[in-house]
Copies of this chain bind each other. A is one copy, B any other.
């Protein structure tokens, strides 16, 4: 592969990334089916035809954007996790990742709903989501096991806890994202933390 080719691919890759990012943003803001390729094109300063040139079809662009966005989220969490070692701090970090501080990226949550709706009906998206969710649970499991290895907790039921707690976080995110008047951000965090502490036998 020559330098030229590399550079050409770099341009294309940059463009693709811009478009995926723009599409993800728009999906979050307006919803999957209300996102037009013209909107995406406008955001990256290109013509609609160029978007098709890169992605072939609208659907391909949007589903790729969903997966791209989900992958970004997990990557960010993974990185965030490097910064702490204490079990409790890490658990708190995970909670914060799912339920970020107030006005911080409020409509990113909309993406999850669209992702789920798409995954429900499209096997490819479904497969991808399942795989990423598995990674997510594996990450939680690693955190717990590290805590055990460090002697912070004893003999946890890693798999049981992982499945339960991951589901709990999802459910809490739903409530908070939908502005449930009872389950606000603060309560959701408290609940998630309390359950983790209790189930893991943390001090």
Looking at the complex, which of A15-23, A66-74, A89-97, A109-117 is the stretch in contact with chain B?
Answer: A109-117
Pair B178/A164 contact, Cβ less than 8 Å: no
Pair B116/A174 contact, Cβ less than 8 Å: yes
Of residues 154 through 185 on chain A, the ones whose CB sits less than 8 Å from some CB of chain B are 160, 163-164, 166-172, 174-175, 177-183
Pair A120/B168 contact, Cβ less than 8 Å: no
How many copies of the polypeptide does the oligomer hold? 2
Q: What does DSSP make chain A's interface, helix, strand, loop or mixed?
A: helix
Indicate which residue in B110, B166, B168 contacts A117 across the interface (CB closer than 8 Å).
Answer: B110
Query: Using a Cβ–Cβ cut-off of 8 Å, how many residues does chain A contribute to the interface with B?
Result: 44
Indicate which residue in B120, B121, B172 contacts A167 across the interface (CB closer than 8 Å).
Answer: B172
How many angstroms from the CA of A121 to the CA of B188 in the assembled complex? 21
Given pairs A164-B194, A167-B172, 7 additional interface contacts (CB within 8 A): A30-B121, A31-B117, A116-B178, A130-B181, A133-B180, A164-B191, A167-B188
